[in-house]
Structure 1
């Protein structure tokens, strides 16, 4: 398909008259009258086709690339993008074009790219809660920046992250509507952002328990129940709640827990799984949890599926603890910094973080498993109350 992303935003802004290729069929046509148009070129059934993706004034380079990617997937499926676009436009013109309907259509077009195909509803949640109750019945062609501003203003500062997600995803819905051939204001979300102004909220960090207090809390978790055992396992591994709650027995072999790449946060498009070293204490927790396993999951919910993140948080609340489950990752990281000589890259790998570039990792080819296992045993000894001696961890060369 050839190289992609050849153009830059600065070049696009001052591009000379002519046609400029971004790669993989995406072109910018700069006209002599000062106007500019994005074009997607492709070949199907030995026929060369061109599809307009919008004017440069309305569609940025990033947006044009996103739109081109959408139509490349259609082409890859064996369908003619231009024919599909026209068919969609005809179908939509005869149907409901309310924001709610178009939002659902945009979601359906993208859910295959989302984790678990969007079944958890996270992508739609900001729109379902804060936008659609107010604007869902409005025809998307009539939607303007003032409507969007009024919908998001109540949460713009108090729930800044959620508001940003809602605005960004609303922009995707608007671009989807334009791709369907609907006459929408492609700049509506950017104009709304200008009307809303800068957010003045201060990010709130997740409450974390001081590493010195973790042993008392851990040792109080003496009930043999899925939620309690999951909490102990989460503390011992400092893994993310979602990965712990969805742990399957088939992912554990000897003292290694392997989390598939597709289940890792921030690893979209990567193929490398994450190996978590399991201390003897963690393996004992697994043995205690096995009698409760159901449907392949080690920590099942009461009725079906797995325990929820809220269930773990409520366990801490009932015990009078302000910290949240995710905060134990910070507890471990601080303990590593203050009580061990673990190199930065090893300490970061304890949390599944990537501290180097893809190039550096390609040459390094190690995940410091043995070093991390030694640290996991020390952490387990600390939280369980067993004695431990300082072990110097040296990075592999």
Structure 2
């Protein structure tokens, strides 16, 4: 009787339930329900193991014999065919990671460092809107510079800032995939940027009200409503509208308002808490706002949460103004330079701008010029509220 190839295709089809040897330790296990399984018995590293080769009839007799011979060849090379197959499956699974899965995993890892844990979706937004619809279902290892170029080309010149954010975040996701051990091209983003070319888009800065006109505008905010009070406090402190809207009673101590690092622009692990000295005028505005406080917030919305970020902008829009609340930071910065003659480092700190290089900032991180800023904020508050017009005229004339 033959040692191998004992079975025939016709015999396999009509074989009764039980174990049927083809030779060379290849067996067909046929069940009572008619189903069957190919099994190869191997001995590797002194251990006898059974390796499944697939179900019959999906795996034919000829295919089972080919698989069995491949496994025997590995055994002859002292390779465990079962472990080698598992390794190949893992590699195949890694190579099939879709880009949308990598984006999701990257975001989960970044969440603790993002402002508000990324709940507003600003980090994900450029990817969700412009990238994932085209590349989300593509295995990350297959994404090349052509794919990225074709995805971002429609917005590269028309929505340059959004496209740039999307490109940078693609790069972060590619690095994350590489850290997972996936075979990706680490230079793919640089290559895509070279193909996209230099953008024709020019950044348009938010219009700012000239500092000389700020007192008149400030005086027009006289309704005593939350929106007017919020805009007044924004003008007086030079902070962003998000910080004003989320102002809480517990953030204030005396004449100092401490904005938590996670509420500042940027990443939480890189942004320390920021202290804002409150002028006497700012403290008066806050005292009025306290009358509307709810759940600890001084600027709550009508229903729940805090005042909308559009509330203050709409005041200016309804008046037909091109300027917006964020522009008052520029108004303050120019006043600091032209009128107050504030040192550059102090003026930049007034707006929570980083100054110097990373090394110099590490030595001065605990030095925020608070006393100097307190004096400048008081002067700004007096000017804005119209209580120091004579001083301003004198300073301008002197310059």
Question: Higher helix fraction: Structure 1 or Structure 2?
Answer: 2
Conservation of the 8 A alpha-carbon contact between 1:98 and 1:140: yes
Q: Is the 8 A contact 1:102 1:177 kept in 2?
A: yes
For the Cα contact (< 8 Å) 1:145–1:192, is it kept in 2?
A: yes
Q: Does 1:140 align with 2:153?
A: no
CA distance in 1: counterparts of 2:271 and 2:135, whole angstroms: 40
Q: Is the 8 A contact 2:95 2:141 kept in 1?
A: no
Is this contact kept in 1: 2:100–2:136, CA < 8 A? Answer: yes
Partner-residue secondary structure (3-state), 1:295: coil
Shift of 1:346: 2.6
Separation of aligned partners in 1, 2:179 and 2:143: 16
Structure 1, unaligned runs of 5 or more:
1-85
Structure 2 SS opposite 1:326: helix
Q: Counterparts of 1:1-397 in structure 2 under 5 Å? A: 90=90, 93=93, 97-265=97-265, 269=269, 272-356=272-356, 359=360, 362=363, 366-388=367-389, 390=391
Once the two structures are TM-superposed, the CA of residue 328 in structure 1 deviates from its matched residue by 0.5
Q: Is the 8 A contact 1:279 1:376 kept in 2?
A: yes
Query: What is the DSSP-based 3-state SS (H/G/I as helix, E as strand, rest coil) of the residue aligned with 2:232?
Result: helix
Checking the alignment, whether the CA contact within 8 Å between 2:299 and 2:307 is kept in structure 1 is yes
TM-score normalised over the length of structure 2:
0.69
Task: Identify if the C-alpha distance between structure 1 residues 361 and 134 changes in structure 2 by more than 3 Å, giving closer, same or farther.
Answer: closer
**Displacement of 1:330 after TM fit?**
0.6
Note the alpha carbon deviations across 1:229-282, whole angstroms, 9 max, x for none.
111100010112222222111111221111233433357545753221111211
Normalising by structure 1, report the TM-score. Answer: 0.69
Asked whether the 8 Å contact 2:178–2:184 carries over to 1, the reply is: yes
Instruction: Give yes or no for contact 1:171–1:189 (8 Å, CA) kept in 2.
Output: yes
**Is this contact kept in 2: 1:211–1:331, CA < 8 A?**
yes
Cα 1:271–1:145 change in 2 (3 A) is: closer
User: How far off its partner does 1:388 sit?
Assistant: 4.6
Cα offset for 1:331?
Answer: 0.1
Q: Judge which range, 329-338 or 187-196, deviates more.
A: 187-196
Secondary structure at 2:134 match in 1: helix
Range that drifts further, 176-185 or 276-285 = 176-185
Q: Is contact 1:378–1:388 with CA below 8 Å preserved after alignment? A: no
Query: In structure 1, the residue corresponding to 2:334 is in which secondary structure?
Result: helix
In structure 1, distance between residues paired with 2:92 and 2:304: 38
Gaps of 5+ in 2: 1-85
* Aligned-residue offset at 1:360: 7.4
Cα shift readout 1:333-365 (whole Å, capped 9, x = no counterpart): 111222223332332232223434554784796
* Mapped partners of 2:322, 2:271: distance in 1: 36
Structure ID, larger Rg: 2
Q: 2:80: which partner in 1? A: none
**Cα shift at 1:154:** 1.5
RMSD of aligned residue pairs (Cα, Å): 3.1
In structure 2, relative to structure 1, the CA distance for the partners of 1:166 and 1:190 (3 Å cut) is: same
* Distance in 1 of aligned mates of 2:313 and 2:259: 22
